[in-house]
């Protein structure tokens, strides 16, 4: 017979309690993202998310107001990741131009490509886009910051505007996430860089 005392399953310190809460929260977010991609945002029920995460629905509501709050949290977290990635790449001394920036971004995304693909499947759903409206534009905002900081200081020939470059770069990243073809993405970025 396997008997556990309450101290075996309960956290013993504030730090352990905090870690347990964070693990539960992350399991809920990962389960929600996966179910939103598989079943569709509109068709996914909170009870299914809780079941997949291995928590009670009541516990889920301790962390989130509902599935809309879950989706917004997922999108904000992804934006935070993009912001940190942009900062990290721009701080590297070897990041001198759009090509080196984009190549570093692609290589970083390569290690998390499955997560980006799942998030994209969710964000292509009209109902999910409606809920996350305003939040999803943050990805382009961070790319725009990189484009602006890498804009050549010399006059040069007229080319695309910063906004156009940002939108094209965003589209190339989406193509990369869908196709997993880093060579194609690099060729498109090189082409964009010659047209700047």
Helices (H), 66-112: 67-91, 98-110
Q: Which residue has the higher pLDDT, 7 or 80?
A: 80
Query: Rg for the chain (alpha carbons), in Å?
Result: 21
CATH superfamily ID and name for 13-195: Tetracycline Repressor, domain 2 (1.10.357.10)
Pick the closest to residue 105 from 115, 95, 114 (CA basis). Answer: 95
Distance in angstroms (rounded) separating the CA atoms of residues 113 and 101? 18
Share of the chain above pLDDT 90, in %: 26
Q: For residue 26, what pLDDT is reported?
A: 93
Q: For residue 157, what pLDDT is reported?
A: 47
Cβ atoms of 173 and 113 closer than 8 Å: no
| Beta strand segments in the chain, E | none
Residue 156, phi then psi, degrees to nearest 5: 60, -175
User: What are the extents of the domains in the chain?
Assistant: 13-195
pTM of the model: 0.79
Q: For residue 1, what pLDDT is reported?
A: 46
């Amino acid at each position: 017979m396997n008997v556990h005392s309450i101290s075996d399953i309960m956290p013993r310190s504030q730090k352990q309690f905090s870690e347990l809460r964070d693990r539960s929260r992350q399991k809920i977010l990962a389960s929600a993202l996966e179910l939103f991609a598989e079943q569709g945002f509109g068709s996914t029920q909170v009870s299914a998310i809780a079941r997949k995460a291995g928590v009670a629905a009541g516990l889920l509501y301790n962390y989130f107001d509902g599935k809309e709050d879950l989706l917004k949290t997922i999108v904000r977290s992804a934006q935070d990741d993009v912001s940190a990635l942009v900062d990290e790449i721009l701080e590297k001394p070897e990041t001198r131009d759009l090509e080196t920036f984009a190549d570093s971004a692609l290589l970083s995304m390569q290690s998390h490509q499955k997560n980006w693909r799942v998030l994209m499947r969710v964000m292509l759903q009209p109902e999910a886009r409606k809920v996350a409206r305003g939040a999803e534009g943050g990805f382009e905002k961070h790319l725009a910051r990189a484009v602006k900081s890498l804009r050549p200081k010399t006059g040069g020939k007229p080319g695309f505007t910063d906004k156009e470059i940002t939108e094209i770069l965003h589209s190339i990243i989406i193509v990369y996430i869908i196709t997993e073809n880093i060579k194609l993405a690099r060729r498109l970025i090189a082409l964009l860089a010659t047209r700047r």
